[in-house]
Amino acid sequence: MKAAVIVFPGSNCDRDMMVGIEHSLGRKPEMVWHKETELPDVDFIAVPGGFSYGDYLRCGAMSAHSPIMREVVKKANAGVRVLGVCNGFQILTEAGLLPGVLMRNAKLKFICKDVHLKVENASTDFTSKYSAGQAIRIPVAHHDGNYFAADDVLKSIEDNNQVAFRYCDEAGNVSEEANINGSRNNIAGILNENKNVLGMMPHPERLCDAQLGGTDGKPLFDALVEALS
C-alpha cells in the first residue's frame, strides 16, 4: 500500500494519522501540503482531523477548494481509497465525495471522549478486520459532528449499505442515549456509493497502540494494508 496524508493549515491530527498508518504499514505515508497540485502515486489517501482554515464559513468549506482537493476528488473517482476523519469527514462532504453534511452538535457542546461504535458494514476495504455488529471503542473530539442528510438521501445511504459505523452503547445497542451529537440514524461514519471513500467523526488513528489506551482503531488500517498489498 502506498499512502499519503493531506496537510492543511490548521490540521492537527495529521501526525497522529501518519503514526497510525505507520503502525500497520511499517513505513511512513507521504505528507502532502494542501497547496500541492499533484499527488504522488498512491492507493490510499487520508484527510486528517483538525481545524483547517479555522473552520471559517463552515467546517471544511475552505479546504474542500484547496488545490490538492481537486486531485483527491479525481483519485477518489478513479477508485483510490480515501479516508476522512473528523474535519477530514467534513471536508469530504463539502468536496462532494460523500453525501450529507456535519452540523453543530445538537447540544452545542464540544465533545471529547471515548464512544462506542457499532460496525454496520464489515465487508469494505476499511472495515473487513471487524465483524458486522461488533462494538468498538474509539475517541471523538468535535463540535460539528451532527450528521444530517435529507430523507431521500438518507434512505439511499441506508438501502445501499453505506453506513459504516453508528454510535451505540458498550453492548452495541444503537440508542437515542448513545447518539452523542444528534446525528440522523446515529450515523458516525459513511461510505460513498462505491465504498472506496469513508468519512467518520471518531478518530481510529488515536487508538492504534496499547500504550495509548487501546487498539480498536488499528484493524481499520490493517484492513487497508491487506486490501491494498
Partner 1 sequence: MKAKVHVTLKNGVLDPQGKAVEHALGTLGFDGVGEVRIGKYIELELTDAAEKTKENIENMCKQLLANTVIENFDVEIVE
Distance CA 146, CA 128 (A): 26
Q: Which position among 35, 65, 74, 155 is part of the footprint of partner 1 (CB under 8 A)?
A: 65
By beta-carbon proximity to partner 1, the closer residue of 15 and 104 is 104
Helix (H, G, I), strand (E, B) or coil at 135: strand
Stretch (H or E) spanning 153: helix 151-159
Three-class secondary structure of residue 56 per DSSP:
coil
> Which cell goes with 192?
460513498
Nearest Cα residue to 220 out of 118, 126, 122: 126
Stretch binding partner 1 (CB under 8 A), from 13-21, 147-155, 156-164, 167-175: 147-155
Q: Could you tell me how many residues of this chain bind partner 1 (CB under 8 A)? A: 18
Intra-chain end-to-end CA distance of the chain, in Å? 5
What part of residues 97-136 is at the interface with partner 1 (CB under 8 A)?
A: 100-101, 103-108
Choice among 71, 142, 205, 208 that is catalytic: 205
User: Measured from the CB atom, is 52 or 93 closer to partner 1?
Assistant: 93
208 catalytic residue (yes or no): no
Single residue of 14, 16, 71, 94 touching partner 1 by CB under 8 A: 94
Provide the greatest CA pair distance for the chain: 45
Considering the rule CB under 8 A, would residue 58 count as an interface residue with partner 1?
yes
Number of residues written out for the chain = 229
Q: Residue 45 and residue 52: Cα distance in Å, rounded?
A: 17
Q: Cell match 468549506: residue?
A: 61
Q: How far is the CB of 94 from partner 1 (least distance, A)?
A: 7
Q: Exactly one of 34, 59, 71, 86 is catalytic; which is it?
A: 86
Q: Compose the 164-203 pattern: x for residues touching partner 1 by CB under 8 A, - for all others.
A: ------------------x---------------------
Residue 148 near residue 103 (C-beta atoms within 8 A): yes
Q: Which of 119, 149, 164, 191 binds partner 1 (CB under 8 A)?
A: 149
- To the query of whether residue 34 is one of the catalytic residues in this protein, the response is no
Residues that bind partner 1 (CB under 8 A): 57-58, 61, 65, 93-94, 100-101, 103-108, 148-150, 182
